[in-house]
Structure 1
Amino acid sequence: MKVRTRDSGGTRRAILDAAQRLFARNGFSGTSMREIAKASGVSQPLIHHYFGSKEGLYRAIKQRLMEQARDAMPLNEDTPRDISFIGEFIRSAFLFLRKNDDLLRLSVWSNLEGESSLWPEAEVLVHRMFVQILNLQTGGFIRRELDPLLLLLMAEALTLYWCQNRSYYLSLFNEEAEEVDDRYLNQVLDVMLHGIKPRSKDEAPSRL
């Protein structure tokens, strides 16, 4: 009988993919290493070799998801040129979350299981957005009395809450799900982008 072999990268991905599905379905506490080994086709000792522990594996899954989120965000410019950057961020976050059920489920499980620490890479992502919002405030594009961190968290909440509870609320609408998604996103963008603009002509935008 020929023994199937994998390269180390393929083995690691197989473990992460299987564990991510199980953690998203059953939570951290409800998933065993034995189940992960069976689902991935990789022995428990080899899983421990790659990730050290169940906690290490869980952290690696969160880090991979956050890296994917970071890559989906419009964070390439150190200094955004105008307020459209905020709209691009909200739209990118919304579209990313809509396509990532595992991340949505894991975020709910994290709350249910009492986690209180940030996910890996989250602090870096928040800091980069914080700095860019400050740059827009300095340029006069965003009201200067607004707290940049709270503004960022509000944008996240508006996208995350809808994506997590979408199936529950869709029954309130007589439209296709995608049409409701589009209307929700457009209304969030309209409210956010108008609400954060300077209220006084004294705060005219400067050229960034």
Structure 2
Amino acid sequence: MRRRGRRTNEERRGESQERLLDAAESLFARNGFNGVSTKDIGQAADVDPSLLHYYFTSKAGLYVAVIARRAGYVNAARREALEAYARQAGDALTVAGVVRAYVESTFELARKGDAGYLNYLTVIAQMNSTPAGGVLGLETTPFDEVVQLFIDLLRRASPGSTDPDLYWFYHMLSGAITLSWARTGRIDELSSGQCRSTDFDAIADHMVSVFSHGLDRR
């Protein structure tokens, strides 16, 4: 039997990995992928930088692991909301309803998240503006499957829209979401404080209002 208070090698490895992930998430959020070195991450995590390469192979491997660590929560929240709306609406799906389910579940995470989760959302915002293949291992993202579900429901709600219409619609919506996740403070300055980049309730409400009619045929 293991003596109480002593950690196993597996527990120590897990703790080191979590410290590296937490430190990398915070530093990537603040300085971006290219503005952070493996030495910076090791020092912030109080872990020998050689362990970063041992556990994650490279800085890019660690970045991919940071993205993957919380992606399941984002995907689960979005999928649950979209599927619940689809069941409730049946054949009466609307673009407004699909958008509301996707956007409100997305921003519920931002409203409830701790500092680490908000750092994560900032990293996702950066990833969304990184060219495909810009980080090895992120040629696709963990979010793609649920994004396709969102587009499939839009297709049912707006049968007159072409696939390019739907994908461009997602492109614009995704940009608005991740700009908001980045919390740049730009809207605060432009509006002289009337709008706040941390007001996720107002952001979600306005985003639903703007995008609900984005596939209307004129």
TM-score, normalised relative to structure 2? 0.68
Counterpart Cα distance in 2 of 1:72 and 1:24: 22
Structure 1 equivalent of residue 160 of structure 2: 144
For residues 125-160 of structure 1, the C-alpha deviation after alignment (integer angstroms, 9 at most, x for no partner) is 3222222323xx2xxx32522522222222222322
Change (3 A) 1:5 1:47: farther
Q: Does residue 1:27 correspond to 2:32, yes or no?
A: yes
Counterpart Cα distance in 2 of 1:71 and 1:5: 32
Give me the identity figure in percent: 23
Counterpart Cα distance in 1 of 2:199 and 2:192: 7
Aligned 1:1-208 pairs, distance under 5 A: 7=11, 8-75=13-80, 77=83, 80=86, 81=89, 82-83=93-94, 84-97=97-110, 99=113, 100-105=118-123, 107-108=125-126, 111=129, 115=134, 118=139, 120-134=141-155, 137=156, 141-146=157-162, 147-164=165-182, 167-171=185-189, 172-173=191-192, 175=194, 177=196, 181-196=200-215
Q: Give the ranges of 4+ consecutive aligned residues of structure 1 lying more than 6 Å apart after TM superposition.
A: 3-6
**CA shift at 1:5, angstroms?**
7.2
RMSD, aligned α-carbons: 3.6
Amino acid at match of 1:40: A
Amino acid at match of 1:92: S
Structure 2 unmatched runs, 5+: 1-5
Counterpart Cα distance in 2 of 1:56 and 1:143: 40
* Deviating more after overlay: 12-21 vs 183-192: 183-192
Aligned residues: 193
Structure 1 unmatched runs, 5+: 200-208
**CA shift at 1:21, angstroms?**
1.2
TM-score, normalised relative to structure 1? 0.71
For residues 97-148 of structure 1, the C-alpha deviation after alignment (integer angstroms, 9 at most, x for no partner) is 56524432563377478837545313223222222323xx2xxx32522522
Contact 1:18–1:36 (Cα < 8 Å) also in 2: yes
Counterpart Cα distance in 2 of 1:133 and 1:150: 12
**CA shift at 1:15, angstroms?**
1.1
**CA shift at 1:179, angstroms?**
9.6
Amino acid at match of 2:100: G
Contact 1:23–1:106 (Cα < 8 Å) also in 2: no
What SS class does the counterpart of residue 34 from structure 2 fall into? coil
**CA shift at 1:184, angstroms?**
4.0
Counterpart Cα distance in 1 of 2:33 and 2:214: 39
